[in-house]
Structure 1
Amino acid sequence: MKSIPAPERSGSGAPTPPELGGIRFDRPRLTDGDPMWRLARSSPHIDANTPYFYLLWCRDFAASSAVARDGADLCAYTAGFVRPARPDTLFVWQTAVASAWQSVGLARRMLDLLVADRYRYVECSITADNPASDRYVRAFARSRGAPVRCEPFLGPEHFGGAAHAPEILYRIGPLGPSGSPGSPGPLGP
């Protein structure tokens, strides 16, 4: 677990960006499944799954996922997994950040902590209507001196008739060492 000092607070008690103070980064626990599901449901670019799915994710994929907490409250998560056929690749399945914590670097910090020089590649899929995720992924790649390769991944035909925008596969790597001074270390076990 990595801690950061407490942020300045506004009169409403909300954190004053761009501070990350008081935020703890950790591996998800089973009890994070419901808050992750609620956060996914409130995020416009995320396809939320069932609460059961997030509970299983917290149990079975905690080692390749991260959460950010403000006190006891979950304020962000990154759910990832190691590709079985490519153990040097972390696939980031979902990243969600509570609206009060957007644009202060939580998503980037979680990805830095997850990668922590353990993977040569990071993959994710993004729809064309999500430019914020595209910018986030490209900024991460630049910070690691890594190229980004994009290719069609999942088209409408893969979604069983459900209305879904095509997913573009982003492959980042090979990754260079973390380039930011004082880069965070890896998350705990």
Structure 2
Amino acid sequence: MAKDVTFDQADEQDLLHLRKPTKTDGASVWKLVAECAPLDQNSMYMNLVQCDHFAETCILAERGDQVLGWISGHIPPDAPDTIFVWQVAVHADARGLGLGKRMLRALLQRAACAQVSKLETTITRSNEASWGLFRSFARDMGAPLSDAPHYEHEAHLDGQHATEHLVTIDLPRKRLRLVA
């Protein structure tokens, strides 16, 4: 099978394609996130905007017509050296295969992330899957991981949501070039 140049990465062995999303992917992303508790279910419109306006810093994993993975992220305007990863969703059919880390590595290889030296995300203490993913990713990168309360239960979230800890991974630039 020939590789399509629009794909960021294609694995011939399992026919899993990692690519930039398009606005036509918004509904599929919304459905995937709905199947990936405990992720917050944003509106379909929000996922559409992410796929359309933030395609350079989001990644979609698919096998055939099935969306199996999604990462939404952005580079904050006041921190061009940082990519903030908003959500990572992996379909139950693809869990345990390292897809989350594959998507993170592919995302960091994009031209939009050329100046990125830090990855940030927020995670609640109870989200063991996310902690496992980001700790494992940091270990693989040989990068330090730190965290601190950021969006707090009472102060920021009106007591309606658990405190989100800001997780920071300082990425060694030479390692980023080698992970492709």
On whether the aligned pair clears a TM of 0.5, the verdict is: yes
Q: Find the partner of 1:95 among 60, 85, 88.
A: 88
Aligned to 2:17: 24
Give aligned pairs, total.
168
Q: Find the partner of 2:127 among 122, 126, 130.
A: 130
- Greater RCO (Cα-Cα under 8 Å, separation 6 or more): 1
Unaligned runs of 5+ residues in structure 1 are: 7-20, 185-189
How far apart in 2 are the matches of 1:48 and 1:92? 16
1:138/1:177 CA distance change after superposition, 3 Å: farther
RMSD value, Cα:
1.7
How far apart in 2 are the matches of 1:132 and 1:176? 26
1:41/1:73 CA distance change after superposition, 3 Å: same
Aligned to 2:4: none
How far apart in 2 are the matches of 1:130 and 1:69? 24
> Shift in Å at residue 178 of structure 1?
3.4
> Shift in Å at residue 161 of structure 1?
4.2
Query: Identity of aligned pairs, percent?
Result: 32
Question: Is the counterpart of residue 114 in structure 1 residue 107 in structure 2?
Answer: yes
Unaligned runs of 5+ residues in structure 2 are: 1-6
> Shift in Å at residue 146 of structure 1?
1.2
CA deviations on 1:12-61 (whole Å, 9 max, x unpaired) are xxxxxxxxx11001001111111111111111121011111111111111
User: What is the TM-score of this pair, normalised by structure 2?
Assistant: 0.87
> Shift in Å at residue 176 of structure 1?
4.2
Structure with the higher helix share, 1 or 2? 2
